[in-house]
Amino acid sequence: MFSILKTMWYTFLHMFSRRFTVQYPDERPRIAPRWRGRIILSRDPDGQERCVACHLCSVACPVDCIALQAAEDETGRRYPEFFRINFSRCIFCGFCEEACPTYAIQLTNDFEMGEYHRHNLVYEKEHLLISGTGKYPGYNFYRVAGLAIGGKGKGQAENESPPVDVKDLMP
């Protein structure tokens, strides 16, 4: 009985304490740099799509809201033919960014994604792709990986020696 009165008294005293509410949008909240907001696809420093359509983000996604199809251009470079994120399902867990081997998929600070129609929350590649490198400047997957693509032949990646001459028997 006394504890009830005490509770009521303490609750009553809260009348005089500071309010926690942030008056968004009048007051802008402080967004941490690692905030997990709207997902984007970035480009490598050469301005090419970073995504190589490896499907790791889609398999890491716990709500299965990423669907894509791999395709290859005539030089052997992989890219997603379509890349779709259903943000009405997305839980912004960041697993996709964690899984991405090429820094292509990144979560940004933007969280203001409200829409009046749910289908506007389905983002296709043209909505996701930005023109910069996003959070990770400098990295280019194809400069490291051994696959030959347009403008980079075998043995021209970082830390690679020129292709072996099969007919050479020198030690």
Contact 151, 76 (CB under 8 A): no
Binding flag, residue 89, other proteins (CB under 8 A) = yes
As measured in angstroms, the least distance from the Cβ of 86 to other proteins is 4
Size of the site for other proteins (CB under 8 A): 65
Instruction: Report residue 63 as tokens.
Output: 């709500």
Among 39, 41, 85, 129, binds other proteins (CB under 8 A): 85
Binders in 122-151 for other proteins, by CB under 8 A: 122, 124, 141, 144-148
Binding flag, residue 163, other proteins (CB under 8 A) = yes
Q: What is residue 118's DSSP assignment?
A: G
The SS3 assignment for 127 reads helix
Q: Where would I find the H helices in 51-129?
A: 56-60, 95-99, 125-128
Binding map of other proteins across residues 45-74, x = CB under 8 A, - = no contact: -------xxxxx-xx-x-xxxxxxxxxx--
Instruction: Report residue 5 as tokens.
Output: 């009165």
Q: What is residue 51's DSSP assignment?
A: -
Residue 159 to residue 155: CA distance in whole angstroms = 8
Q: Cα 22 to chain center, whole Å?
A: 28
Interacting residue ranges for other proteins, rule: CB under 8 A: 4, 7-8, 10-12, 14-15, 17-21, 23, 52-56, 58-59, 61, 63-72, 78, 84-86, 88-89, 101-102, 118-119, 122, 124, 141, 144-148, 154-155, 157, 159-169, 171
